[in-house]
Amino acid sequence: MGARGSGMFWFAIFTWGGMVMFDVMGQKVLVTSPLGTVIGLSEKSVGGKPYAAFRGIPYAKPPTGSRRFMPPERLESWGEKLEAFRDGAECLQMDVLVTLNITGREDCLYLNVFTPITNETENLPVIFFIHGGGFISGSSNSLFYSPGYFMDEDVVLVTFNYRLGPLGFMSTEDKVMPGNMGLLDMIAALQWVQQNIRHFGGDPRAVTIMGESAGAGAVHHLILSPRARGLFRAAISESGSALCPWAVAEGHRRGAEGIASILGCPTMSSADLLLCLQQVPAEAIVGLSTKLWEWQYFPLLFGPRVDRETDGPVLPDEPINMMLEGCFSRVPWLTGINKDEGVLLALTPLGNETALKDLNERWEALCPLAMDFSFTTPVRCDRRSACNQIKTRYFRGKNISQDNASQLIEVFGDRWFKVCGVEAADLHSRFSPTYFYYFKGNGKRKFLDVLFAGPRQFLLNKSAEAHAGVGHGDDLLYLFDAKMIPPITTMEPMAFAIKNAFVRLWTDFATYLDPTPKGKEVELPSWPLYTEKKPYTYIIDAQPIVELGNIGEKRKTFWNSLPIQENNPLQTGF
């Protein structure tokens, strides 16, 4: 099939309800879909395989003006042709870790599709990735989430942006502004995948949702949400679940009124508050988040919430209730944690003498914020008791310093990721196939080296302990070939082995719903199902092994013994 006189020609790669065309001379890829024609670029995977990259595809109308704080609206068409060569703008956010600069745009609901260029006639399984960032920062920027490792395999990868912080999760705790816009963006992007991914070579019946950190918690929220039923068939959560203390935020009305009052907006009427905030600059709303922080960037006021008061809620009940009752999509779930999850959170006090001094001097006041139970433990004496028990267990009653930095990393890791990760796996396994992993392979690839590159490097230099171990987010560098650092090659044998294990396990799970499918030749040990009675854990290292035993049992016992209100099951609200 040719286009004479234009200096280019096209040939079909595969078809299913649409046609993917490849421009050999211009290295461009064209897809025709009901939304219009989209043109992408042909690129090479780390292993040298060709794939098509479509970046910056809008999946909803811009959430600006009267659409601010509202559910995303479906985009009917992008016009005759869309050149999808660059990432869409990241959603408006603040650099909470270092500069406090505001970046991004309010018009940010874009996704990327990466698909192998093959002669296969069958469409491929789809991995739908949700980025992390505490629901206040982050993006799907392919500078970091580059698909080069995944594109060595036969899968389609979708990455996307969703609204963050107050623009993504502000709520008046009523039907006027129920919140959860960020979660609704995720659902809208999944609906786009169901309607369009076959035109890009993907199978809408074989979608696996995957996320890390806040993205992992979001994956679990989507498992729980009745609004997301039928949009995926499997899930992967790396370092996070809906049971983690940060995964369901509290105090939304307080946050909305706090920002509104500073901006001179009325606060008595939710409708008046909404109308006013829809008319002020979005940057002003995001910038005022700092005014609500009591220490560092705590409390986290803008995140997912239980919106039972709405018609068609995203989260109709507390996650613990829904899990205990089996009210969720009973899909296979692969989930797990990293060895040193608390590294990123511990870095701020360890790298800042003033913050560390403040934490020691005001431990009883700051501990509930840092451990994120300031809302769930309203009685002051209970907070004091919980904090004293934490200090005794982890620090033997001593002040926190560089000498016991490993204990600060441990307490943050246990509270924020490990206990809630194990508990979620326990409950999910009662109803659905569950696979649990523990990542301990130190292949010298550090998420912090990417996150704090350039002028941020000074933070790492202040705490060698915080830079050691297998930290939060390190797993991402074995799944995505971040362009800020060289790709992993055989010159790094340990990192290369870990990368191969991660990519193989993850893509086989997305393809077969089993990370080590029977009958397929793999050089990895078989990964058995995880249950409460037989908690098999897959230890990911250069040479993975399987262990039987709950790695978080002692941690669970301690944290569940604390006088924290969230530890009482079947509550209807805090």
pLDDT in tens, 151-206: 999 999 999 999 999 999 999 999 999 999 999 999 999 999 999 999 999 999 99
CATH 3.40.50.1820 residue window(s) in the chain: 28-231+245-311, 342-560
Which is it for the CA torsion 173, 178, 183, 185, positive or negative? Answer: negative
Is 472 part of the annotated catalytic residue set? yes
- Which residue in the list 43, 106, 341, 410 is annotated as catalytic? 341
Ranking 86-100, 351-365, 448-462 by mean pLDDT, the lowest is 448-462
Measured from the Cβ of residue 474, the count of other Cβ atoms closer than 10 Å reads: 28
What is residue 411's predicted lDDT score, i.e. its pLDDT?
97
Average pLDDT over residues 382-389: 90
On whether the 342-560 domain is CATH 3.10.690.10, my answer is: no
What is the mean predicted confidence (pLDDT) over 457-477? 72
pLDDT tier at 461, thresholds 50, 70, 90: low
Options 33, 213, 237, 374, the catalytic residue: 213
448 or 218: which leads in pLDDT:
218
Radius of gyration of the chain (CA): 23
Q: Tens digit of pLDDT for each residue in 25-71?
A: 348 999 999 999 999 999 999 999 999 999 999 999 999 999 999 99
Residue 410 annotated among the catalytic residues of the structure = no
**What digits encode the pLDDT tens for the residues 477-533?**
999 999 988 999 999 999 999 999 999 999 999 999 999 998 777 789 999 999 999
Question: CA 116 to CA 31: how far, in whole Å?
Answer: 13
Paired strand residues for 128:
158, 209
Give the list of residues 6+ apart from residue 272 with CB closer than 8 angstroms, or none.
265, 266
- Measure the CA–CA gap between 9 and 439, rounded to whole angstroms: 47
Structure tokens at 318: 């507390």
CA atoms within 13 A on the CB side of 560: 14
Residue type, 219: V
Residue 112: the pLDDT is 98
pTM of the model: 0.94
pLDDT at 466 over 60: no
Q: What is the rounded average pLDDT of the residues 452-477?
A: 70
Q: What is the mean pLDDT of residues 15-21?
A: 45
- Angle among Cα 52, 41, 64 to the nearest 5 degrees reads 95
Contact indicator for 420, 413 with CB cutoff of 8 Å: no
Q: Return the structure tokens found at 531.
A: 């249950």
DSSP output for 346-387: HHHHHT-HHHHHHHHHTHHHHHHHHTT-TTT--SHHHHHHHH
213 catalytic residue (yes or no): yes
The H-or-E segment that residue 545 falls in is strand 545-548
Question: What are the residues whose beta carbons fall under 8 Å from the beta carbon of 201, sequence distance 6 or more?
Answer: 13, 14, 16, 20, 115, 116, 118, 123, 124, 156
For 546, half-sphere exposure in the C-beta direction (CA atoms, 13 angstrom radius) is: 14
> Coil, helix or strand for 527?
coil
pLDDT at residue 452, rounded to an integer: 73
Catalytic residue among 131, 220, 428, 472: 472
Asked if 451 contacts 473 with a C-beta cutoff of 8 angstroms, the reply is: yes
Q: What percent of the chain has pLDDT over 70?
A: 89
Between 488 and 567, residue with greater pLDDT = 488
pLDDT score, position 551: 80
Residue 279 has pLDDT above 70, yes or no: yes
Q: What average pLDDT does the chain have?
A: 89
Buried residues in 310-341 as b, exposed as e (16+ CB within 10 A): eeebbbbbbbbbbbeeeebbebbbbbbbbbbb
Q: Which residues touch 267 (CB under 8 Å, ≥6 apart)?
A: 256, 257, 260, 261, 273
Is residue 376 very low, low, confident or very high in pLDDT (cuts 50, 70, 90)?
low
The total of other beta-carbon atoms located within 10 Å of residue 351's CB is 18
pLDDT for the residue 297 = 75
* Of residues 357 and 20, more confidently modeled: 357
Give residue-wise pLDDT tens across range 201-224: 999 999 999 999 999 999 999 999
Q: Which of 315-329, 385-399, 438-452 has the lowest mean pLDDT?
A: 438-452
* Number of other residues whose CB lies within 10 A of the CB of residue 25: 10
CATH topology of domain 28-231+245-311: Rossmann fold (3.40.50)
Rounded to an integer, what is the distance from CA 566 to the centroid of its chain? 23
What is the pLDDT at residue 375?
A: 62
Non-local CB neighbours of 467 within 8 Å, separated by 6+ positions: 343, 446, 448, 460
Question: What pLDDT, on the 0 to 100 scale, is given for residue 564?
Answer: 81
Distance CA 135, CA 69 (A): 15
HEC profile for 267-314?
CCCHHHHHHHHCCCCHHHHHHHHHHHCCECCECCCCCCCCCCCCCCCC
* Residues 95-111, mean pLDDT to the nearest whole number: 90
Answer whether residue 572 shows pLDDT above 50: no
pLDDT digits (tens, 9 = 90+) for 303-355: 999 999 999 999 999 999 999 999 999 999 999 999 999 998 998 888 888 98
Q: Which residue has the higher pLDDT, 284 or 122?
A: 284
Would you state the pLDDT for residue 16?
A: 38
Q: What is the DSSP string of 389-446?
A: HHHHHHHTTPPP-GGGHHHHHHHHHIIIIIHHHHHHHHHHTTTS-EEEEEE----S--
What the block records as the tokens of 292 is 């609500």
- Quote the pLDDT of residue 232: 99
Strands 156-160 and 110-116: antiparallel
